[in-house]
């Protein structure tokens, strides 16, 4: 039978995958959801008809405003969101000098001027001078409250956010391998929280894949409690369709608007596959989701759900900024086996890269991992318990060598945007 050609997102372009028709089990894509034709109009409508609040009627010209935005690793139309949001705020009488834009970096590297110009446009950058949050700068952190089940968690967040009269969160709602779904409360914790706070949250043992799950999810519960204690006055979140286009804008109350977005995201993202595959080719969906190995790992968590034990996961990710975390690289290099990483994490908890290392170890205990990247050398990956390949063709050849007979192959062209249910247990 003929080979089927499938384009796999890679950086700003694609890499071709040729798979015999008889071996292709499924290409996992959600149902088509149309994009919003009037992008700017949809944002303005959401702002003017917010869910669960009359926010713009309550603000006063003298109020100080902190707007939290996602960093460069998230595919958020921040320029368009901020343009509409700032327009509404200034129309309400807020002075530009009373508005601060804070980038929710979590433990990610700060955004440089080039990043900011691309994300927001020079006009917004020059006028509002966005601030990169630093989780390690104690002088720029402020105490908020004690949270957690035993109230032993000292919540500390970015001072500009904590001291503002009004706090607004922006971001994207998509399936998330730890929080269930991104967006909403995640802009506070981990977004603008202290490293100690992030360490405690990320120290929760990630032994379960929590994509699309909020019930009994301690990562989500802690993030929501943190956001509610801080006091979030308004959120503007978007949901993207499978093509990365704007499909939904939600605005309003922290909980009600976000839950509306989550329900729509679930409709966009949830799919069912008939059974598990011997080989799963997975991609984060191109730039910026595959900007580095740290971010690209999220595509592996989805692939774990549909690969047979002892199978192979082929991760297709450009990783133009390399591994993305020296601590992650150190954790993977220091280990002689996946189990060693898991045992070390259980002893030390979160150190920056340890949770990501745990995710890699969890996947490696289920399947062999091949990383297709022309930015990460095979020697570098080998030292991190991973196998490198220069192309999808080479990666598939390596995968087939490990599976006897005629393996079934599934493809996840944009894995982090999916919530996958399996018809037949692996």
Please report the pLDDT score of residue 424 as a whole number. 86
Residue (of 93, 62, 68, 71) closest to 82 by Cα position: 68
Q: Is residue 307 a contact partner of residue 301, using CB atoms and an 8 Å limit?
A: no
Please report the pLDDT score of residue 343 as a whole number. 96
- The β-bridge partners of 13 are 10
CA distance 238 to 215: 22
Superfamily of domain 3-30+274-422: LarA, C-terminal domain (3.90.226.30)
Q: Is the peptide bond before 190 cis (omega within 30 degrees of 0)?
A: yes
Residue (of 407, 359, 403) closest to 385 by Cα position: 359
pLDDT tier, 150 (very low <50, low <70, confident <90, very high otherwise): confident
CATH T-level assignment (fold) for domain 39-268? Rossmann fold (3.40.50)
Please report the pLDDT score of residue 270 as a whole number. 94
- Looking at the predicted structure, is the pLDDT value of residue 1 above 80? no
Q: What is the dihedral of CA 75, 79, 83, 89, to 10 degrees?
A: 60
The SS3 assignment for 70 reads strand
- Looking at the predicted structure, is the pLDDT value of residue 307 above 90? yes
Q: What are the start and end residues of each CATH 3.40.50.11440 domain in the chain?
A: 39-268
- Per-residue pLDDT tens digits for 157-212: 999 999 999 999 999 999 998 999 999 999 999 999 999 999 999 988 888 889 99
Mean pLDDT for the chain? 95
Give the pLDDT mean for 82-107. Answer: 95
Count CB atoms within 10 A of the CB of residue 12: 11
CA distance 240 to 77: 10
Residue (of 150, 149, 141) closest to 230 by Cα position: 141
Q: Read off the pTM.
A: 0.86
Give the pLDDT mean for 312-339. Answer: 97
Give the pLDDT mean for 355-360. Answer: 96
CA distance 342 to 366: 13
Q: What are the start and end residues of each CATH 3.90.226.30 domain in the chain?
A: 3-30+274-422
Cβ partners under 8 Å of residue 196, min gap 6: 154, 156
Give the pLDDT mean for 274-303. Answer: 95
Q: Give the pair of three-digit tokens for residue 261.
A: 């977005």
- Per-residue pLDDT tens digits for 370-423: 999 999 999 999 999 999 999 999 999 999 999 988 999 999 999 988 999 999
- Per-residue pLDDT tens digits for 96-143: 999 999 999 998 889 999 999 999 999 999 999 999 999 999 999 999
- The β-bridge partners of 175 are 181
User: How would you classify the pairing of strands 153-158 and 141-147?
Assistant: antiparallel
- Per-residue pLDDT tens digits for 12-67: 999 999 999 999 999 998 888 888 989 899 999 999 999 999 999 899 999 999 99
CA distance 143 to 138: 10
């Amino acid at each position: 039978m003929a080979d089927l050609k499938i384009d796999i997102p890679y950086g700003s372009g694609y890499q071709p995958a040729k798979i015999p028709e008889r071996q292709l089990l499924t290409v996992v894509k959600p149902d088509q959801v149309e994009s919003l034709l009037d992008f700017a109009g949809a944002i303005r409508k959401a702002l003017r008809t917010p869910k669960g609040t009359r926010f713009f009627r309550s603000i006063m010209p003298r109020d100080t405003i902190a707007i939290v935005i996602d960093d460069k690793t998230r595919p958020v139309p921040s320029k368009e969101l901020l343009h509409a949001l700032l327009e509404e705020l200034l129309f309400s009488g807020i002075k530009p000098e009373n508005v601060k834009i804070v980038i929710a970096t979590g433990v990610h590297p700060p955004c440089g001027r080039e990043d900011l110009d691309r994300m927001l446009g020079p006009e917004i950058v020059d006028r509002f001078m966005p601030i990169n949050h630093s989780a390690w700068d104690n002088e720029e952190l402020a105490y908020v409250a004690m949270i957690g089940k035993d109230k032993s968690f000292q919540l500390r967040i970015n001072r500009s956010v904590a001291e503002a009269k009004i706090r607004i969160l922006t971001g994207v709602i998509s399936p998330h391998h730890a929080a269930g779904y991104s967006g909403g409360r995640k802009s506070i914790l981990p977004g603008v929280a202290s490293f100690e706070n992030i360490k405690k949250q990320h120290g929760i043992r990630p032994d379960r894949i929590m994509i699309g799950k909020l019930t009994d999810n301690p990562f989500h519960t802690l993030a929501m409690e943190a956001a509610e204690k801080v006091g979030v006055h308004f959120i503007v979140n978007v949901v993207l369709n499978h093509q990365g286009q704007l499909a939904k804008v939600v605005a309003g109350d922290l909980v009600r608007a976000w839950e509306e977005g989550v329900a729509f995201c679930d409709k966009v993202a949830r799919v069912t596959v008939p059974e598990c595959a011997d080989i799963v080719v997975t991609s984060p969906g191109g730039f910026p989701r595959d900007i580095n190995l740290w971010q690209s790992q999220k595509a592996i968590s989805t692939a774990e759900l549909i690969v047979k034990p002892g199978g192979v996961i082929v991760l297709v990710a450009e990783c133009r900024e390399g591994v993305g975390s020296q601590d992650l690289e150190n954790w993977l290099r220091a280990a002689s086996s996946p189990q060693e990483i898991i045992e070390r994490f259980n002893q030390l908890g979160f150190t920056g890269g340890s949770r990501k290392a745990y995710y890699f170890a969890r996947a490696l205990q289920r399947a062999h991992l091949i990383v297709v990247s022309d930015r990460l050398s095979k020697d570098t990956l080998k030292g991190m318990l991973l196998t490198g390949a220069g192309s999808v063709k080479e990666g598939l050849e390596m995968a087939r060598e490990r599976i006897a007979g005629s393996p079934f192959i599934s493809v996840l062209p944009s894995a982090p945007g999916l919530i996958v249910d399996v018809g037949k247990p692996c």
